[in-house]
A and B are shown apart, each in its own frame.
Chain A
Amino acid sequence: QKEVEQDPGPLSVPEGAIVSLNCTYSNSAFQYFMWYRQYSRKGPELLMYTYSSGNKEDGRFTAQVDKSSKYISLFIRDSQPSDSATYLCATNSGYSTLTFGKGTMLLVSP
């Protein structure tokens, strides 16, 4: 079983929509969860960083972690064309290196 899984998409939405991006993981030792945004041919840019279960909000972005079901979500409100990118979830245990999902491509049309 792969450690971190994401639907590769693409996920296509109109401008202004609420976007839900999801990720599952298999290792119950993981407790640090990150979302990165990656534009084409660029490095991953840190969007959200959370520890353990719960919600964290930053502007239009909300990260949600449910450790009981090993499920991570990123919600984007009022999506913009500039949000079009690949979104990577990543996680680790605090003693291990970061494990990435393959990423979900998001396309926001004007």
Chain B
Amino acid sequence: EPEVTQTPSHQVTQMGQEVILRCVPISNHLYFYWYRQILGQKVEFLVSFYNNEISEKSEIFDDQFSVERPDGSNFTLKIRSTKLEDSAMYFCASSVEGTDSPLHFGNGTRLTVT
């Protein structure tokens, strides 16, 4: 069964450093998302992306965050200058038709900022 894949599975970085989290969505999906989950908290929406542009973003997704689809298969989340509070699991998801079709999630990247 097709799946969303994310790399790396675990990323450790120092405060202030830039990180790029990578995702390969399911191939026939058109909508891409990033969510995050701080330990013990609920899964929170960050950003949605369609047709090579951001379609919606949350208040968490400030100027330190950016997303890109650099080629036909990858979807990336960049955090420019990481803070301690950015430590979380970051999940990429994709869907066929947007918010009225189910989202399929990857296994996440655990980001630890020290």
Q: Which residues of A contact B (CB under 8 A)?
A: 32, 34, 36, 41-46, 49, 88, 90, 92-103
Q: Find the A residue at minimum CB distance from B41.
A: A102
Number of A-B contacts (CB under 8 A): 53
Among A34, A45, A90, A100, max chain B CB count under 10 A is at: A100
Which residues of the other chain, A, contact B43 by a CB distance below 8 angstroms?
Answer: 44, 88, 90, 100
Known: A32-B99, A97-B99. 16 other contacts (CB 8 A): A32-B100, A41-B89, A41-B108, A42-B107, A43-B4, A43-B91, A43-B105, A44-B91, A49-B102, A88-B42, A94-B99, A97-B45, A98-B45, A98-B103, A99-B45, A100-B44
Provide the bound-state CA to CA distance between A32 and B45, in Å.
16
Provide the bound-state CA to CA distance between A107 and B103, in Å.
25
Q: Does B56 contact A (CB under 8 A)?
A: yes
Q: Which residues of B contact A (CB under 8 A)?
A: 4, 6, 33, 41-45, 48, 56, 58, 89, 91, 99-100, 102-108, 110
Given the interface pairs A101-B42, A103-B42, the reply to whether A45 lies near B48 with Cβ below 8 Å is: no
